[in-house]
A and B are shown apart, each in its own frame.
Chain A
Amino acid sequence: MTTTYEMVIGLEVHAQLKTKTKLFCGCSTHFGDAVNTHVCPVCLGMPGSLPVLNKRAVEMAVIAGKALNCDIQETSVFARKNYFYPDLPKGYQISQFELPLCLGGHLDIVVDDQIKRIGITRIHMEEDAGKLLHQGSGAIAGSTHSLVDLNRACTPLIEIVSEPDIRSAAEARAYVESLRIILRTIGVNDGNLEEGSMRVDVNLSLRPSGTSKFGTRTEVKNVNSFRSIERAIASEFARQKEILDAGGVVIQQTRNYHDDTQTTTALRDKEEAHDYRYFPDPDLLPLVLSKLQLQDILANFPELPEQIRHRYLGLVLTDSDVVVLLEDMTMRAYFEACLKVSGVVPAKEICKWVVGDLNAFLKDRPEGFASTMATPEKFVGLLALLVAGTISGKMMKDLLQKMIETGQNADVLLTQSGGAQVSDASELIPVIEKVLAANPDVVEKIKSGKSQSAEFLMGQVMKETRGKAKPDLVRQIIAEVISKY
């Protein structure tokens, strides 16, 4: 008889805070610039340099803690985590250990339509390390030498540690997805797993189903996409199961996940685990947040994804559109700006165009939603013409494209294009009769029941009127005229 196992997972998620400057100095946090250009004596760990805490980073960490239902601690303490590595300039990382900023939160996830609450043990603040660039090989093994880029050193992170409440790869994924959307939406993290602005470590152990005692866990690192979260968990589950099935014991160790082979390999055993020798950093005073300061920070507490979802569904947006909007922060900011000036234009109509055509038009343009010349005001102005029936959907598309290119107002564009759509039947009938006369075979098809052929005639009429004929009116007249044949 084979034992079935339950997996027990806790996740540690490192999220980079979206501050303009680093955690302990004034250097820029901008990603992707030339190596070692955002550095100073402090983040280089020069002799004699000292850290000064970034206030904005604290505010962001507090907001993240609140969004994840944590208790924000009045006093938290920065500690030195001591270890040697060439990407760590001071030989220690400034982190929080015994007294972190946030304790005891939770996050609700939805898996298979079931809501499940995942506990959050703690959130603490810490600085990031730099980056090693191994030369002559993708990894340190096999390289001739390594270079160090310290642009990332000292950028602010929060580490979010979950309770071991997760029981499947799907739950783990849902947890990270949900966390990501929250952190992005409240504006503290850009949620980019591939660029490393969110990094996930998986703590996983197995126990026979139905038992309550935890098994020995391993920590799996280097998991940097949603797909690899699931794959790494599947792989590590299988590995541990095989050991247990064969009567062996799992060794407590840190393992590295390799996406190419979908396997994990041991990085270090418990015996080799670092003794980090944490102690309070004497260069930094304890971080004390008074009630008043907390009130100030939380005064402009942002709307959470769940609240936004409710509000949007109230505006009769579709589920899928809500997902798209929650995913794309700049698009959503644009949409929100449109809502503010929407007037008679329904939110649903705005959403349809923002998520649809406008998004498609802007996709390949460098300015994007953030700085398109089709400002929310102008765009809504154009949409108002559509809603009023002054222009057709086809014209809307054309004019919108022109608006993106020129930044002209809807009125100006309309005039330039030769005016409003033709919705006067007496103007349209001669054109339609001309088209029908030229296409007798198509007319026959329609009469024999192939009503979809009418679309061809529609197209011809649109061509004749340079797209300005009102489509439903054309359709109606075609039907009427054919029925008289």
Chain B
Amino acid sequence: MGRGRVYGAEDFGGLTMSIFKSAVELHGLLQSRSLTCVDLLDAVYAQVDAQDSQVKAYISLLRETAYERARSLDLRFDAGEELPVLAGIPIAIKDNICLKGSRTTCSSKMLENFVSPYDATVINRLNAQGMIPVGKTNLDEFAMGSSTENSAFFTTANPWDLDRVPGGSSGGSAAAVAAGEAIVALGSDTGGSIRQPAAFCGLVGMKPSYGRVSRYGLVAFASSLDQIGPFARTVEDVAYLLNALCGFDPLESTSSRQAVPDFTKSLSRDVKGLKIGIPKEMMGEFVHSDIREATMKALDLLKTQGAEWEEISFDMFDYAVSTYYILAPAEASANLSRFDGVRYTHRCADSHSLKEMYTRSRGEGFGPEVQRRIILGTYVLSSGYYDAYYLKAQKVRTLIKNGFEKLFQTYDVIVTPTTPTTAFKPGEHSENPLAMYLADIATIPANMGGLPAMSIPVGFSNGMPIGLQIMGKAFDEETVLRVGHAYQQLTDFHRQVPGGMQ
């Protein structure tokens, strides 16, 4: 057991408690004026001050602008104005999302001093709701990793056990919410970077369908896979956040024009008759027995509500990982070329030629994992290798998509454990990048297929949270949310709070 202890939310009282409430609950308090936005922000920053020296979720804080907004929102609440559910809710932002006037580092030395001159589309959308960004959170450098160990600055700790990683790459965002250092958070998910840390930190984390949320202002890792999504304690909060985040963006060519429903409406529907598929490939020995058990319990609980589940076979998981580690680095190798020492990035001192400036600036600015992936990506795109790697991987990707489409003709959702293990310790995988890559085996396929996928907390193993992944048809977030919400109505795993965080 680590240093943390699991407490129920009822262990806390008074103001501190507000930081472990859901956004929807807090909205009631804010609207009724039992709580002010400034009070809530005070509580959040008090928790940051008390805990973040250990948790290390944040790279930078936005106190000044946060309080400014909180005060102006309080005036409006005081005047009796009916504000959106998310107004005044403190939110943590992954530090690969551009926020005007703030440092946006991507946890890289390369961008250590980069201040974004513009807001990402998602920031504009959160601003429109009156949400309050409290700070920018740690991640694996350029979102490449599963533990935040690849951050150039520091490794974030898991609030459930400070000796363990929070997952990644959006580990800072997950840890911030789990520790009560934010109510909700934004992350980005290229191969599981929202769902895996959500599972490790006992939260709900959702990657929407590709195209649902604008990527404009998200520093690109792998453009065809990247998607921004929310962390929260409850599926209901996630539904509200999706309402705020989703929708066509004229600044983003791959953003979808598909109509955006009111996601909160789908929550009221039950799961009767819903067909759930569970791929046997994701229930093998490599998955910890506690996790398999929690998964089966979750399925049985849904069955009591009228859902049906059956075991299925989907042999694409292995291929998905291999394909991912060709396509994602290929895109990344080009996406990261703009960090070249010429403009806003780190530039090496005293270079004597253009080539030297490039090679040394990039050699100094990028960490080992980023360099590894740039080299990998450059290789698979090189003339003579392109067909064998990149082109072939694209074909396999099409097969994966087709495979999913076929499954979704029969099943409404596909469910897997989000991760094969619970949160591991720093250094456990660092000698073997391949083992780390395999930790994403359950989450990568949804990115390949552009599907919505969500992780919800479904239990504990040795005090560490377990996540269940629910995948849906492309643009059918509603069914995924419905399943998750139905489950949360019957359980209180999401109400648990890490003991060390009081």
Closest B residue by C-beta to A25: B251
Report if A51 contacts B (CB, 8 A): yes
Contact between B338 and A283, CB atoms less than 8 A apart: no
In the complex, A78→B216 CA distance in Å? 19
Contact between A46 and B344, CB atoms less than 8 A apart: yes
Chain A residues, Cβ within 8 Å of B98: 46-48
Report if B383 contacts A (CB, 8 A): yes
Sorted nearest first, the 4 A-B pairs with minimum C-beta distance are A91-B337, A282-B224, A277-B381, A282-B223
In the complex, A191→B83 CA distance in Å? 57
Report if A49 contacts B (CB, 8 A): yes
Indicate with 1 or 0, residue by residue over B438-469, a CB within 8 angstroms of chain A CB atoms: 00000000000000000000000000000000
Chain B residues, Cβ within 8 Å of A46: 98, 116-118, 344
Report if A361 contacts B (CB, 8 A): no
**Nearest Cβ distance between residue A309 and chain B, in whole angstroms?**
41
In the complex, A284→B254 CA distance in Å? 6
Contact between A283 and B223, CB atoms less than 8 A apart: yes
Chain A residues, Cβ within 8 Å of B239: none
In the complex, A3→B12 CA distance in Å? 97
In the complex, A274→B344 CA distance in Å? 25
Indicate with 1 or 0, residue by residue over A27-60, a CB within 8 angstroms of chain B CB atoms: 0000000000000010011111111110000000
Centre residue among A41, A282, A285 by max chain B CB count within 10 A:
A282
In the complex, A279→B392 CA distance in Å? 13
If A279-B381, A282-B254, A284-B253 touch, whether A48 touches B117 (CB-CB below 8 Å) is no
Q: Which of B381-424 contact A (CB under 8 A)?
A: 381-383, 386, 390
Contact between B224 and A277, CB atoms less than 8 A apart: no
Chain B residues, Cβ within 8 Å of A456: none
Report if B159 contacts A (CB, 8 A): no
In the complex, A90→B337 CA distance in Å? 6
Chain A, interface size: which category? 20 to 34
Report if A10 contacts B (CB, 8 A): no
Contact between A82 and B252, CB atoms less than 8 A apart: no
Number of A-B contacts (CB under 8 A): 102
**Nearest Cβ distance between residue B381 and chain A, in whole angstroms?**
4
Chain B residues, Cβ within 8 Å of A285: 253-254
Secondary structure of the B side of the interface?
A: loop
Indicate with 1 or 0, residue by residue over B358-394, a CB within 8 angstroms of chain A CB atoms: 1000000000000000000010011100100010000
In the complex, A19→B343 CA distance in Å? 27
Contact between B382 and A283, CB atoms less than 8 A apart: no
Report if A199 contacts B (CB, 8 A): no
Indicate with 1 or 0, residue by residue over B285-324, a CB within 8 angstroms of chain A CB atoms: 0000000000000000000000000000000000000000
Contact between A47 and B334, CB atoms less than 8 A apart: no
Contact between B254 and A283, CB atoms less than 8 A apart: yes
**Nearest Cβ distance between residue A268 and chain B, in whole angstroms?**
13
Partner of A89, one of B220, B330, B338: B338
Chain B residues, Cβ within 8 Å of A148: 342-343
Contact between A91 and B382, CB atoms less than 8 A apart: no
Report if A312 contacts B (CB, 8 A): no
Q: Which of B68-106 contact A (CB under 8 A)?
A: 96-98, 104, 106
In the complex, A277→B383 CA distance in Å? 6
Closest A residue by C-beta to B220: A48
Report if A407 contacts B (CB, 8 A): no
What number of B residues sit within 8 Å (CB to CB) of A? Answer: 45
Contact between A279 and B330, CB atoms less than 8 A apart: yes
Pairs across A and B, CB under 8 Å, 20 listed: A47-B104, A47-B106, A47-B111, A47-B338, A48-B120, A48-B215, A50-B215, A52-B251, A53-B253, A84-B340, A86-B340, A89-B338, A89-B342, A89-B343, A148-B343, A275-B383, A278-B381, A279-B390, A282-B224, A284-B253
Report if B273 contacts A (CB, 8 A): no
Report if B114 contacts A (CB, 8 A): yes
Contact between B330 and A52, CB atoms less than 8 A apart: no
Report if B144 contacts A (CB, 8 A): no
Report if A334 contacts B (CB, 8 A): no
Contact between B334 and A275, CB atoms less than 8 A apart: no
Contact between A52 and B253, CB atoms less than 8 A apart: yes
Q: Which of B334-355 contact A (CB under 8 A)?
A: 334, 336-340, 342-344, 354
Chain A residues, Cβ within 8 Å of B378: 277
In the complex, A91→B216 CA distance in Å? 19
Closest A residue by C-beta to B218: A48
Report if B219 contacts A (CB, 8 A): yes
Q: Which of B209-228 contact A (CB under 8 A)?
A: 215-220, 222-224
Contact between A50 and B381, CB atoms less than 8 A apart: no
Chain B residues, Cβ within 8 Å of A53: 253
Indicate with 1 or 0, residue by residue over A76-89, a CB within 8 angstroms of chain B CB atoms: 00001010101001
**Nearest Cβ distance between residue A89 and chain B, in whole angstroms?**
6
Report if A226 contacts B (CB, 8 A): no
Q: Which of B252-270 contact A (CB under 8 A)?
A: 252-254
Report if A353 contacts B (CB, 8 A): no
Report if A92 contacts B (CB, 8 A): yes
Contact between B219 and A47, CB atoms less than 8 A apart: yes
In the complex, A48→B223 CA distance in Å? 10
Indicate with 1 or 0, residue by residue over A348-379, a CB within 8 angstroms of chain B CB atoms: 00000000000000000000000000000000
In the complex, A46→B116 CA distance in Å? 8
Chain A residues, Cβ within 8 Å of B382: 275, 277
Report if B250 contacts A (CB, 8 A): yes
Report if B331 contacts A (CB, 8 A): yes
**Nearest Cβ distance between residue B327 and chain A, in whole angstroms?**
9
**Nearest Cβ distance between residue B186 and chain A, in whole angstroms?**
13
Chain B residues, Cβ within 8 Å of A84: 337, 340, 358
Centre residue among A92, A275, A279 by max chain B CB count within 10 A:
A279
Closest B residue by C-beta to A276: B383
Closest A residue by C-beta to B381: A277
**Nearest Cβ distance between residue A287 and chain B, in whole angstroms?**
10
In the complex, A360→B250 CA distance in Å? 49
Chain B residues, Cβ within 8 Å of A282: 222-224, 254, 331
**Nearest Cβ distance between residue B113 and chain A, in whole angstroms?**
13
Closest B residue by C-beta to A52: B253
Contact between A41 and B117, CB atoms less than 8 A apart: yes
Contact between A91 and B215, CB atoms less than 8 A apart: no
Contact between B338 and A91, CB atoms less than 8 A apart: yes
